[in-house]
Amino acid sequence: MSGYATCDALLRSLPAVIVLCAAIATTSVRAQTADGTAAPSQANQAVTPEKPDTSTGPAKEKVSWHSKDDGDFDASDFLLNHRGALPVPTIITEPAIGYGGGVALMFFSESMADAARNAKETGVMTPPNITAVGGMYTENGTWGAGLMHFHTWGGDAIRYLGGLAKVNMKTDYYGLSNSPRTYQLNGWLLVQQVLFRIGHSHWYVGPRYTYFDSNTHFTGQIAQEVGLPDAQRRIGKVGLVIDYDSRDNMFFPNRGSYLELELQAARPWAGSSQSFETYNGRGYTWLPLARDWVLGLRLDGRFSAGDTPFYAQPYVKLRGVQQGRYQDQNAAMVEAEVRWNVTPRWSVLGFGGAGRAWGKWKSFSESDAVVSVGAGFRYLVAAKLGLAVGIDVAHSKGENAFYIQVGTAWH
């Protein structure tokens, strides 16, 4: 997979759990402060929404692992009332780096149920602040470790996300020859981001700074087309992030849209050893087709200009496609997904997508178009939060892969 993208993804989510827990915090507080009842987790579902305890008493809640409504396994009470450190395991199935796993230890400033009670008392909705530390390791020797912090101010009007990670990754670069050349990427990554809500709208905007100090080394055949294949490089990027989020649930939406635009420039004055720009845009929307059917659509474009390091080039990211297999100066993807909520707890889905990478090694018409298809299922593991987990199985040309998913595959 793209080395820099992997490191960035690791730090910004550790791996993906910090965003998950921040979303849990924000979603749970919103759900519990809406007339004292939890928001429905599935559109038009038959289960009566459960009422979380919003009393102001300090007594510790008795955790139940089963729903009071249907008796099925449900982790809502545990997630809402947990205090102190929360271990979050991760299973990695990405073909580019092999099977592996990781764990993150999350520290909440207060339980999410306490945050909801405080919001009802003060009239200001503020999710808990979260600090996380964790690491991961895969079968090909790739490993990483990081420290992160998520913080909000002004009733979620300002969101801060930052952290530091150390990564040692082994993966392949295809490039001009369209054949795998194995390389190792070792470095430190720093990310700092602050987003400001525009009024009371669904829009957020703010700056992001990324710094990556890395060493690259090809362990076998060298990719001569990348210039200096074995070198120390620094990426220092400053940019602007614009977010729009109208989803009814941050984990497993039934309606609404999410949009993010990233405009970033790497310059020597920002700590970069070479100058280049990246322009990324992604949008997802979910449309209810009928009582139990939901259509999801995805459009994703990633573009670069200037002296972009080979490991930071955009790549096609689709389920069933090895990350970094199709990589060039630009990349674009489209994807559609249809979901059937079979019961209030269980849902099945089918998806298909296409992508293309072009610009430096091949023109748009000369580049390969990759198509992937697949299917999966989800189980609603925390009804009060709308949090579902499951597995997706996908196929593309010459490749098969499966993924353990928390909520939607689109983040």
CA 118, 122, 123, 129 torsion-angle sign: negative
More confident call, 125 vs 254: 254
CA distance 318 to 327: 12
Amino acid at 88: V
Q: What is the mean pLDDT of residues 17-22?
A: 50
**pTM of this structure:** 0.84
pLDDT tens, 226-265? 887 778 999 999 999 999 999 998 889 999 999 999 999 9
Residue from 38, 23, 115 nearest 384 by CA:
38
CA distance 225 to 362: 13
122 and 111 in contact (C-beta within 8 Å)?
A: no
First to last CA, the chain: 17
pLDDT tens, 84-116? 778 888 899 999 999 999 999 988 877 767 766
Amino acid at 321: V
pLDDT tens, 161-184? 999 999 999 999 999 888 999 999
Tokens 């050349």 locate to: 181
DSSP state of 39: P
Residue from 336, 315, 40 nearest 174 by CA:
315
Q: Which of 12-21, 283-292, 382-391 has the highest mean pLDDT?
A: 283-292
Asked whether residue 304 carries a pLDDT value surpassing 60, the answer given is yes
Q: Does domain 3-47+65-406 have CATH number 3.30.420.480?
A: no
pLDDT at res. 29: 53
